[in-house]
Structure 1
């Protein structure tokens, strides 16, 4: 237990987490601090491109056969978290069918920010992880979103309440889930890192490399503000009704470690798989759910995924996942 407290303490004092906490405080004290939308869009693109480029460079030395067990495991974990979430929030926490499938889409998908924070944590403590984990992030983003919306549409058809909204069609949802801005930027970065000449990559390193962690800190400052704002928007918030936002990361992360060790990933790789399995999407999933499940309350799914699960994972989840990983390796 002393080890996990020590890891949590070290993580809490990292610049990224401190920036995130400052963002939370800024909203709580009603500061007029704001991040310009154009600046937010710009540094988000740089951060996602940087992750993709780094992953693409590393993929040059990895065969698809080596990646296949992790890819298959990642898809299975994503689908499993979809159904675990649906059962938990619908049967235990008594949310409606609509809210349950919306939440399942979010918790079956993944968070790029938690992934980035996990990579930074491993690099800080100099722990090796598999080079292709950025590709696994892309793999786990879409399947649960698509399946959740398909099951929700089946429910609507069964009860004769299917919508004719063109934006709710499956083709549109697939586009949002697999080619939304976050996935598109990651895929674009992976492609660039995979095929670009080494000297060309060296020339863009000052922007897509050296500035990465500084921009990430500003990004987390903004995320802290948005997370706190999303929580404040939930009407009649009772924490007992949202305990699933803390249960699911612990369950998913532990399952990710066990799976990673079983398929032969390194400790760092299993830790990253835990980060992905225990996280929740608040970029790709909300965009798709807003169109396909319009009756779902955005305050509930954004408030839980962004306002509760994200800060929980950044502050508590990361050290917990690493501690669990040390028990298996």
Structure 2
């Protein structure tokens, strides 16, 4: 128990977590601090490009067949979390079908910021991990989003004529939307660019990365708190799923990764990905394909509750679990 307490304390004192907590505090005390929307878009592009470029460079030394078991596990976990989330929300928390599927799309997908924070944690601890882990992030981004929207269309056939482009838009957002496009683009650049060329862009997509990420997390802390303030009229117990699902996903993810032979660091990363929830790709697709869903519910739970839970508790907890599995 003392080990996990020490790990949590170390994680809490990391600059990324402290910046996120500052963002929360800024909204609580009604500070006039604001981050321009253009800056937010720029931060997102740099972060996703950097993840992709780093993954592409590392993929140069890995064969596709080496990745296959992990890719299969990632697809399985993504769809599994879609159905676990839907079942939990529908049967236990008594959410309606529309909001259950919308939220399930988010929890079956993944969070790039949680992924980066977990990587930073591993590097700080000096723990190695599979070099292709960025590719697993890409694999887990879209399947649950597509699955949730297809299920929504099948369960609401009478509404299909009112929004016939929903599934097509979902495929576009899940596989060619901003986040996935930037990740894939970054991986391609990392794979084919020369070492000299990559060295020239290192100051922006390397040296400055964690500083930019800290400012991004400050902004996310503000957005998360603002989203939670909008959720009036709901009982606190209605959002317990936002803490239950990352626990379920994290422990299942670490277990599956360990069973297929991934390293301790790799198992931790697959666990934290399974525990995370999307707030970039999923909202863009769900807003268009399932417009009846409440954005406050899926953004408030994913960004306002699950993201901080994983950053503060999930990362050290799943690291501890992966180290003893």
Shift of 1:167: 4.1
Report the equivalent of 1:241: 238
Q: Hey, what does 1:263 align to over in structure 2? A: 260
Residues in 2 aligned to 1:306 and 1:163: alpha-carbon distance in whole angstroms:
32
- Normalised by the size of structure 1, how large is the TM-score? 0.97
* 1:188 to partner: Cα distance: 0.6
- For 1:238 and 1:325, how far apart are their aligned partners in 2? 34
Q: Single out whichever of 1-10 and 26-35 deviates more from structure 2.
A: 1-10
Measure how far apart 1:281 and its partner are. Answer: 0.5
**Unmatched 5+ stretches in structure 1:** none
Deviations 1:272-327 (A, max 9, x none): 00011000001111111101110000000100001000000001110111011111
Match of residue 253 from structure 1: 250
Displacement of 1:37: 1.4
Q: 1:221 aligns with which of 206, 218, 223?
A: 218
Give the whole-Å Cα distance in 2 for the aligned partners of 1:181 and 1:127: 31
- Please list the CA deviations of residues 176-195 of structure 1 after superposition, one character each: whole Å capped at 9, or x if unmatched: 11111111111110000000
Cα deviation code 1:168-214 (max 9, x no counterpart):
2x222100111111111111100000000111101111111000000
Matched, 1:102 2:99: no
Q: Counterpart of 1:6?
A: 6
Q: Distance in 1 between matches of 2:107 and 2:261?
A: 25
1:137 is matched with 137
Partner of 2:315: 318
For 2:205 and 2:159, how far apart are their aligned partners in 1? 48
2:202 is aligned with 1:191: no
Query: Could you tell me which residue of structure 2 aligns to residue 115 of structure 1?
Result: 115
Partner Cα separation in structure 2 for residue 166 and residue 22 of structure 1: 43
**Helix, strand or coil: the match of 2:21?**
helix
Distance, in Å, in 1 between the alignment partners of 2:288 and 2:294 is 12
Alpha-carbon deviation of 1:40? 1.6
- 1:43: Cα distance to partner? 2.0
1:20 & 1:172 partners in 2: Cα distance?
A: 32
Name the CA distance, whole Å, in 1 between partners of 2:293 and 2:92.
Answer: 19
Cα deviations by residue, 1:237-257 (Å, 9 ceiling, x for unpaired): 322111010000001000011
Q: Which moved more, 1:40-49 or 1:248-257?
A: 40-49
Q: Normalising by structure 2, report the TM-score.
A: 0.99
Shift in Å, 1:164: 2.5
Q: Which residue of 1 aligns with 2:229?
A: 232
Distance 1:9 1:151 in 2: 42
Question: Residues 24-76 of structure 1: CA distance to partner in whole angstroms, max 9, x if unpaired?
Answer: 00000000001111222112211111110000000000000000000000000
Alignment of 1:1-329 (within 5 A): 1-157=1-157, 160-168=158-166, 170-328=167-325
TM superposition shift of 1:3: 1.1
- The two structures, once aligned, show a CA RMSD in angstroms of 0.8
CA distance in 1, matches of 2:110, 2:247: 14
| Runs (5+) with no aligned partner, structure 2 | none
